[in-house]
A = this chain, B = another copy of it.
Amino acid sequence: MKTETNLGTSLDPWYDHYAARAAGLSASEVRALFAVASRPEVVSLAGGMPFVAGLPNDRITGSIERVMATVGPQALQYGSGQGIPSLREHITQVMAAEGIQASPEDVVVTTGSQQALDLVTKIFIDPGDVILAEAPSYVGAIGVFRSYQAEISHVAMDDNGLIPEALEERIITLRAEGKTVKMLYTIPNFHNPAGVTLSSDRRASIAEICRRHHVLIMEDNPYGMLSFDEPAPDAIRAIDDGVVYLGSFSKTLAPGFRIGWVLAPHAIREKLILAVESAILCPSSFSQFVINDYLDTTDWLAQINTFKGIYRGRKNAMLTALDDHLPELSWTNPNGGFFVWLTLPDELHSKAMLPRAVKELVAYTPGTAFFADGGGGQNIRLSFCYPNETDIATGIRRLSTVINGELDLINTFGRGATTSVSRETDYTAPPPNIN
């Protein structure tokens, strides 16, 4: 038996029992701050919550009632690990809208696309394997990759998305160092958090590079249908059917049902079904039947158009407010999705500034959450999906007060005047409403 010499950890009698992969599982400081930020007087530009109040509540209730009346015992029972066939059929129709031709046989329904992300990583990644990801990348993906002890290598992106030349160079460099590069994780459309979209020609280049270098592409596309002007280019999966493609009903319908999916080549799909069964036995039958009925009976594309109108208006409100209150800063102009990526003046640090912002009753997600390597201090992610246009304008005004206040302090007293910050990485999973 070990002697418990460390007073800090000896409070947990199992401190010597955890797996190596659990070493980093501790709540971040940012997490504690977000608990405060959920107070109603705070305008939160931090969350990735869709505006579910914009859904047709009566139609969803109608779907639920039909499910209970017609297939109640099936909806209340265990189902198959792969998901119900009629829903998988619908899912192929949804994907067809993004240029993807696929068989329902190759679709696996998951508990949100987050679970697909988790299980694809579980079946492919040994400790130390490299996953390539955009710089920045989705915070929930970074958390999953860390939980399987992957090494995350960020690849540069610009306003047209991931840069193919940078990707190829990185693959070559890492392999020359003896690293095992297994996978590229990419969010091509209306990127979380960067807001940019991968151009059509780059999609072809990236597919070609990854195929040539034998790197699996995991394409995560929760926002693709939520475009504001012209639709997003066809998915990378539409170019290359070797891609593992992740989709979700969380942004186009409702996250409360926890239904997403993964489309994968035959052999991978077989392993994913077994992985789903091991993890949860099966996705919720009830949720699947309800979404299936909703897609059967509702003009779901019209509902997505409604959402697009709402989110377009909110994005415009955010850009207008940024123009009005922070004209000296730069930000991305997303063509869809939920997020704007703001670049701060060099003197400021997004994580150090957050407590002051919350004190001014505005919350955002610091850029540090989206990097596995300590980057992101110069950036903040602003979400326009959940607050209304008035609140967005108020939030940006408050943010400008914080930013300008910090700059004034520095101009008067020098850099020491602002709070210092530990440069540790925020690599734990965020609270779910921040994803």
Contacts and interface: CB of A to CB of B under 8 A. Distances in A.
B112 A25 contact: no
Q: What's the number of copies of this chain in the assembled complex?
A: 2
B280 A19 contact: no
A18 interface: yes
Nearest to A28: B274
Contact of A124 (B18, B61, B257, B281): B18
Contacts of A268: 12, 14
A32 to B, nearest CB: 12
A126 to B, nearest CB: 5
Nearest to A50: B77
A1 B181 CA distance: 12
B433 A18 contact: no
Contacts of A26: 270-271, 274
A432 B256 CA distance: 23
Interface string A51-91: 01101010011001100110011111111110000000000
Interface residues of A, number: 89
B55 A61 contact: no
A126 B19 contact: yes
Interface of A: 1, 11-15, 17-22, 25-27, 49-50, 52-53, 55, 57, 60-61, 64-65, 68-69, 72-81, 111-112, 114-115, 118, 122-126, 129, 140, 143-144, 147-148, 182, 214, 216, 242, 250, 254-258, 265-268, 270-271, 274-275, 277-287, 428-433, 435
Given A19-B123, A19-B148, A61-B72, 18 more contacts: A13-B265, A14-B124, A14-B216, A17-B214, A17-B216, A22-B124, A74-B256, A111-B111, A111-B258, A111-B284, A114-B281, A118-B280, A147-B278, A255-B285, A258-B280, A274-B429, A277-B430, A284-B284
